Chains A and B, each alone.
Chain A
Amino acid sequence: MSLTLFAVQTLNGLQFGLMLFLVAAGLTLVFGVMDFINLAHGVQYMLGAYLTAVLAKVTGGFFTALLLAMPLTLLLGLVLERLVFRPLYARGHLDQVLATFGVILIVNEAVKLAFGAAPISVPVPEILSGSVRLMDGLLFPVYRLAIIGAGLGTALLLWLVIDGTRFGMLVRAGATNAPMVSALGVDVRRLFTAVTAFGAMLAGFAGAMVTPILSVEPGMGDGVLILAFVVIVVGGVGSIRGAFIAALIVGLVDTLGRSFATDLLKLVMSASTANHVGPALSSMAIYLLMAGVLAFRPAGLFPSRSAG
């Protein structure tokens, strides 16, 4: 295990973490402001990916497709908010979970009907198709640097919006104390609609960004959804800063676990046992992390909701 390899894996971990942040940001925002558990976030991510894939085929350009897909996912978010979410804000978490789970089932099946069950993919855009030589025999695709950039950019943008605008002030207020926001005379319904649509667009953006490196297929949002929930719960629900740091931690723990767990175990046990235990352990790594964090900090690393 050379130092170079360790550095490369750390970079890979950060890149994976930033990808997770892209997905988790919208989820934690919606959850934080409205106290709404939106399981449909994963299918919104999938819709972003499918729209990009289809539009890229039609228009022939990845960036055109990306630009078109964003308002479309926003629109779909609005429709979903109007039809399903809005009546559920006042209800308990369980009702929200049940209804948005229904949305997952519908959209996954509808996508399969519309585009088939086979995975489809999007070529890497020409301008980002190069690669950087990281170590002997290994290239780091420029596109992955673009994902790192997009993740950092989104984080910066969210920070600016949330810390610097009136919209952001309301979002922060909503995450800490929702009744207070309505007491301020703000039309809470409009705020909620805006946040949900914005969250859907963030999910769609994440989905669009991963299309050149991941396959686009029905159900692709389900696994990501769980990871995103791990991120926001570890980070502290509603906290963008928490989501950012938690995403990096989860990305690093997962990647480094996958890279080195088995090798490290080989130091203390036989190779075949290590081959047996290592992979199981690294699959569990992020869950162990989450259980550990929650055991000591039940509200996550950066709780945003005030205690009283």
Chain B
Amino acid sequence: MKTFTVMLAAAAGLALTAGTAAAQEKLKIGMMVTLSGPSAVLGQHQRDGFNLALKQRGGKLGGVDAEVVLVDDELKPDVAVQKVQGLIERDKVDIVTGVTFSNVMMAIAKPVFDSRTFLVSSNAGPSPLAGRACSPFFYASSWQNDQNHETMGKYAQDKGFKRVVVMVPNYQAGKDAAAGFKRFFKGEIADEIFTQLGQLDFSAELAKIAAAKPDAVFSFMPGGMGVNLVKQYTQAGLSGRIPFLSAFTIDETTLPATQDAAVGLLGGAQWAPGSTLPASRAFVEAFEKEYGYVPALYAQQAYDSALLIDAAVKAAGGKFKDKEAMQKGFRNAQFESVRGPFKMNTNGFPVQDFYVVKVVKRADGKFQTEPVEKVFTAHEDVYAKDCPLK
């Protein structure tokens, strides 16, 4: 009798898998990241993070064979629109993921939503998509753009800093960063410096900072700009005298270049490779073994985006063409995020913890960030209340 039940169950299982295999093809995922120009390294982290998760699951997500089509948006929004149309209409992808920069995200959002394709961001989280223009087809495994800056604002407030100089590049993300910081920092902004995007030399700005004598500096300088700023900040003798708070400036994409100059500087993030959570340790170890470099938060977010998709497809019972089921799956996704607690908000952005992270030199001579203080617990972005989705 027992044998019979087992046999029956096995037969049913076989029939079920055969049935799904016949009814559904592969889950097609278009990954759009920036792989050209100075910011290519961010896209590289995203790509590798996602691929690691896929590889660990034997090429399956939610039990379904997944196929990834990788495209480079070249950091040109209109090229991105063209390429995403190709992904949707030519490659017939079910999900578009990746997306390194907000301007690219804003460019592709409409065509992706119009085609009822899911957009799973593993980095960019522009405010319109979190607020009024939110969509049931959008989910982020990263954050809303302002949140990491809010973390540093809160930190500066908690530490009792009175006067802070804010220095950001003169573009939208920079202005958002300044706004995010100021939302939680209530002290005096001694000066607000907007630098040119792609600026190489910061000596003029550093002189202004030295003249202003603030309690701390908050800066957002992604990529090569951050490398130059950190090196010059140290060379100008400001490091160690004026605390350097930042977001997306010192991370594992720039540490190989800044090296010792960045040690001790602070950043705000939802995760850092120095995290001691077991899931995080396993991820960092597997990642370094596979790709030979230390993953930055971009890699972690992309890894988590794969887990998020995995969970959503699983929850939808493998029926990834069923939009309603998938939406429910994304909303209620349960998975063990590398960052720790993770909950999807109504606007498709995570509710999560944020930390102040610090640069350290590891025993093997490599550099990484590690969490030193939790600033926010289960932090929700401010735009969610404008989102009509419930």
Contacts and interface: CB of A to CB of B under 8 A. Distances in A.
A154 interface: no
B224 A215 contact: yes
Given A5-B207, A121-B259, A214 B241 contact: no
Contacts of A140: 236
Contacts of A137: 210-211, 213, 237-238, 241-242
Contact of A5 (B208, B253, B257): B208
B39 to A, nearest CB: 8
Contacts of B223: 119
Interface stretch (A27-35, A80-88, A197-205, A279-287): A279-287
A8 B205 CA distance: 11
A242 interface: no
Given A120-B256, A139-B237, A217 B210 contact: no
A182 to B, nearest CB: 40
Interface stretch (B114-122, B137-145, B189-197): B189-197
5 contacts: A118-B257, A137-B210, A138-B237, A213-B235, A283-B170
B294 to A, nearest CB: 11
A282 B199 CA distance: 12
Interface in A201-253: 213-220, 223-224
Nearest to A217: B224
B389 interface: no
Contacts of A139: 235-237
A259 B257 contact: no
B231 to A, nearest CB: 6
Interface in A105-150: 112, 116-121, 123-124, 131, 134-141, 143-144
Contacts of B170: 279-280, 283
Interface string A1-39: 010110011001101100100000000000000000000
Interface of A: 2, 4-5, 8-9, 12-13, 15-16, 19, 112, 116-121, 123-124, 131, 134-141, 143-144, 213-220, 223-224, 255-256, 258-259, 262, 275, 278-280, 282-283
A213 B224 contact: no
Contacts of A275: 192, 194
Interface in B168-203: 170, 192-196, 198, 200-201, 203
Contacts of B227: 119, 121, 215, 217
Interface of B: 35, 37-38, 40-41, 44, 170, 192-196, 198, 200-201, 203-208, 210-211, 213, 223-224, 227-228, 231-232, 235-238, 241-242, 253-254, 256-259
Given A12-B203, A119-B227, A283 B196 contact: yes
B40 A12 contact: no
A217 B231 contact: no
Given A19-B201, A121-B257, A280-B170, A215 B228 contact: yes
A217 B40 CA distance: 10
B207 A259 contact: yes
A259 B38 contact: no
Contacts of A112: 40
Contacts of B195: 258, 279
A118 B253 contact: yes
A218 B40 contact: yes
A218 B259 contact: no
B257 A15 contact: no
Contacts of B208: 5, 259
Contacts of B44: 117-118
Contact of B204 (A4, A13, A224): A13
A138 B236 contact: yes
A19 B232 CA distance: 15
Contact of B210 (A131, A135, A219): A135
Given A112-B40, A141-B236, A278-B194, A215 B210 contact: no
Contacts of B193: 262
